[in-house]
Structure 1
Amino acid sequence: MSTETTAAAIRFPCASCGGPMVFDTESQNLKCQYCAAEKTIDSVVGEAKEHSFDDEDEDLESLHDWGTEQQAVHCEACGGETLIPPDQTTSLCVFCGSPKVLLEENVRSIRPESIIPFQVSRDQALSSFASWKKKRWFLPNAFKKQDVRSELNSIYIPYWTYDTETYSVYTAEVGVYHYRTVTRTRVVNGKTETYTTTERYTVWHYTNGDYDRSFDDILIPASGHYDEKLLEKLGDFNLDELHAYRPEYLSGYISERYSVTREEGWEEAQDVANGQLRDEIKDIIGGDEIRNLNIRTTFDDITYKHLLLPVWNASYTYKSKPFYYMVNGQTGTVSGHVPRSAIKITFFTLLCLGVAAAVVLFVMSQQTSTT
């Protein structure tokens, strides 16, 4: 990066000693790394601007101003990209740990409208993982007793949220269960006997209707560098605590540059909305069975915003094999992978098979005794 660009970068020096100030999770303020002096962040909660998705006249150029200079770090191994202050360096990729990282200039990313600042410290993240680990099944005994040494990185992960008004029309066939008594015969001890039983049958009828629905903050990860299932399990963010974006929140932290465009994010948001609409319309239709359900939906008044949400991304090694986990930087929720004991899994499987066999033998013996 050029000297001119670096010199123009906005930093947060301490008014007392001139040292660098970084965001502190405990006080939720800037805190000097040397003299511990604090500076209050002028925070605004819940007033982020929504941008029209279809407004071609919107000044997107203004949305590239992050309020502080950023440099991009690109990993040649996994393709991940992060944003760091110009006076910060890194030699390893925060996603995969590869040393093949390159600095890039000319960062062109839409800045976030909102952010949830980190509220979970590094020590709290490690404590959350230790508690979570103890509750996992089939862990090797040696691992349960081991003090796991994790490599943690505090990262703001990019997300898109979308609001939209939907109107759906639907058609379907609804099946309603009815019951009738029927007479049948069976052979018992060589003799034919008649008995009655209840038989279920389904009556089908056609239905149609329409359904209005508003969606607020459909949350879509704008990152393509994480295990989707881990990220989904981590998604209990409380968006009521969103703050309007301030560059101070990024001081001392890494933020990821989104790799999912707002157009790609909207495609995923539509899938989420369509899934919810399908479930809700099926509830409206009712009945016992539904077949040939056809739903046509129009999406209007689409707006979006770009968020940064806090995550501790971590890795550790057990018997030379890498494992990964993540900690929600707002709530402390953990999702991740742990080693499993093949012996414990085998024993549990055999136990389940034994119980199942015992149940089958018991049922068969009861049926034999009644005949």
Structure 2
Amino acid sequence: MTNETGSAAALRFPCAACGGAMAFDTESQSLKCQYCGAEQEIDSSVGEQTEHTFDDSDEDLAALHDWGTSQRAVHCEACGGETLIPSDQTTSTCVFCGSPKVLLDEEVRSIRPESVIPFQLSHDEALGSFAKWKKKRWFLPNAFKKQDVRSELHGIYIPYWTYDTETYSDYSAEVGVYHYRTVTRTRVVNGKTETYTETERYTVWHHTSGDYDRSFDDILIPASGHYDGKLLDKLGDFDLTQLHSYAPEFLSGFISERYNITREEGWEQAQEVADGTLNDEIRDIIGGDEIRNLRIRTTYDDITYKHLLLPVWNASYTYKSRPYYYMVNGQTGTVSGHVPRSAVKITLFTLLCLAIAGAFVLFYLSQQTATN
């Protein structure tokens, strides 16, 4: 089915048969005329995409600015969101928050996407994914679960960076290994002193060091500064093996967000991800029962990156005069978002948990009393 957001800011291509507007169709994965139904294949390949070296020269970067069509940026004064539209079109509202406070900037000079995952879910399918998702939430008001939520849904390509790198780490640490011994102790029971034995744990520490090589492929970093990062993380089940080489036709009928996390800022976040992974893996290599004074020194080589556009249905709705937002992964249908909560259900659940915990405490105390 063809995307039906109806946004005036979406990129359009004329139909060779009737001259009408063509837009990307999620069912046929091609351009489809919205008037005569004619279809046109998109020239794009799936699979390995070109990686760009991180130390590109200014000339190299200039060559990456061609998006295949002239674009302008739209900036929302209300929420700060930025989207890209064709230079010959205008828009009066923000697709993120609906605000009319939008400003047109000059033509875009930003790195074009290297790859894109086209939308697989139509507008109606995205609404269906949300309807199924909200029915599975525990603490939603029953009235909200049953009602048909009217959402303002927009298909948006969200920018991401991916990074590849080779790493070499040397590390040192102190490793603690648990040992056990039997010790004799005394205690007073019913006024009488008695002797008993128990097992005591102690830790033996020793120094260790070593090195570790590791390759990282496609560390995925959102380049959007507009969205809640936690919500984006929950949409992160994109299948990157289905990346297509970029073609502007994929954007037809949809909106693309302008990245505002630079490739340098994205690399800093990618390093944090890599550092966390290296820390966990090196700890596994070291082993032991405890580790202290761990020091890891890592060098990063052969750093490459790609700019990606990944499909997301972005939606807003109102419940009891309060605004809420959710997103649907345009490839897999995974949903993340904010929903209203039922205070009654949360209170009842809390009381149930407290009752169960209290029962366990009473059972434990009764057992202790019986033992003594």
What range is the shorter-chain TM-score in?
Answer: over 0.9
1:131-170 aligned at under 5 Å gives the runs 131-170=132-171
Q: What does the per-residue CA deviation read over 1:282-322, in whole Å, with 9 as the maximum and x for residues that have no partner?
A: 00000011000000000011111100000001111110001
Contact 2:113-2:306 within 8 A present in 1 as well: yes
> Match of 2:104?
103
What stretches of structure 2 of length at least 5 have no aligned partner? Answer: 1-10
Q: What does the per-residue CA deviation read over 1:157-210, in whole Å, with 9 as the maximum and x for residues that have no partner?
A: 001111111100101000111111111112222222111111111111000000
Q: Match of 1:155, SS? A: strand
Please give the alpha-carbon distance, in whole angstroms, between the structure 1 residues aligned to 2:14 and 2:95: 26
Q: Match of 1:149, SS? A: coil
Q: Which amino acid aligns with 2:268?
A: E
Q: What does the per-residue CA deviation read over 1:311-370, in whole Å, with 9 as the maximum and x for residues that have no partner?
A: 001111110001111100011000011111111111111111111111111111111112
* Distance verdict in 2 for CA 1:188–1:244, change over 3 Å: same
Contact 1:84-1:253 within 8 A present in 2 as well: no
Q: Which amino acid aligns with 2:36?
A: C
Q: Match of 1:280, SS? A: helix
1:30-179 aligned at under 5 Å gives the runs 30-56=31-57, 58-179=59-180
> Match of 1:339?
340
Q: What does the per-residue CA deviation read over 1:119-152, in whole Å, with 9 as the maximum and x for residues that have no partner?
A: 0111111111111101112111211111111111
Please give the alpha-carbon distance, in whole angstroms, between the structure 2 residues aligned to 1:11 and 1:312: 19
Please give the alpha-carbon distance, in whole angstroms, between the structure 2 residues aligned to 1:195 and 1:47: 69
* Distance verdict in 2 for CA 1:79–1:57, change over 3 Å: closer
Q: Match of 1:225, SS? A: coil
Please give the alpha-carbon distance, in whole angstroms, between the structure 1 residues aligned to 2:277 and 2:113: 27
Normalized against structure 1, the TM-score is what? 0.95
Contact 2:70-2:107 within 8 A present in 1 as well: no
* Distance verdict in 2 for CA 1:86–1:12, change over 3 Å: same
Please give the alpha-carbon distance, in whole angstroms, between the structure 1 residues aligned to 2:12 and 2:88: 9
* Distance verdict in 2 for CA 1:96–1:303, change over 3 Å: same
* Distance verdict in 2 for CA 1:58–1:299, change over 3 Å: farther
Please give the alpha-carbon distance, in whole angstroms, between the structure 2 residues aligned to 1:360 and 1:258: 54
Q: Match of 2:14, SS? A: coil
> Match of 1:362?
363
What stretches of structure 1 of length at least 5 have no aligned partner? Answer: 1-9
Please give the alpha-carbon distance, in whole angstroms, between the structure 2 residues aligned to 1:349 and 1:57: 59
> Match of 1:200?
201
Normalized against structure 2, the TM-score is what? 0.95
Cα drift, residue 86 of structure 1: 3.6
> Match of 2:8?
none
Q: Which amino acid aligns with 2:318?
A: T
Cα drift, residue 103 of structure 1: 1.8
Please give the alpha-carbon distance, in whole angstroms, between the structure 2 residues aligned to 1:196 and 1:31: 81
Q: Match of 2:107, SS? A: coil
Contact 2:12-2:253 within 8 A present in 1 as well: no
Q: Match of 1:129, SS? A: helix
> Match of 1:221?
222
Cα drift, residue 96 of structure 1: 2.1
Contact 1:316-1:324 within 8 A present in 2 as well: yes
* Distance verdict in 2 for CA 1:108–1:57, change over 3 Å: closer
* Distance verdict in 2 for CA 1:69–1:57, change over 3 Å: closer
Please give the alpha-carbon distance, in whole angstroms, between the structure 2 residues aligned to 1:90 and 1:33: 21
Q: Which amino acid aligns with 1:262?
A: R
Cα drift, residue 77 of structure 1: 1.4
> Match of 1:281?
282
Stretch of structure 1 that moved more, 350-359 or 255-264 = 350-359
Q: Match of 1:94, SS? A: coil
Contact 2:26-2:122 within 8 A present in 1 as well: yes
Q: Which amino acid aligns with 1:212?
A: D
Contact 2:12-2:23 within 8 A present in 1 as well: no
Cα drift, residue 58 of structure 1: 4.7
Give the share of equivalent positions with the same residue, in percent: 82
Please give the alpha-carbon distance, in whole angstroms, between the structure 2 residues aligned to 1:219 and 1:130: 28
Q: What is the alpha-carbon root mean square deviation over aligned residues?
A: 1.3
Q: Match of 1:142, SS? A: helix
User: Is residue 233 from structure 1 mapped to residue 231 from structure 2 by the alignment?
Assistant: no
> Match of 2:5?
none
> Match of 2:182?
181
Stretch of structure 1 that moved more, 220-229 or 61-70 = 61-70
Contact 1:11-1:68 within 8 A present in 2 as well: no
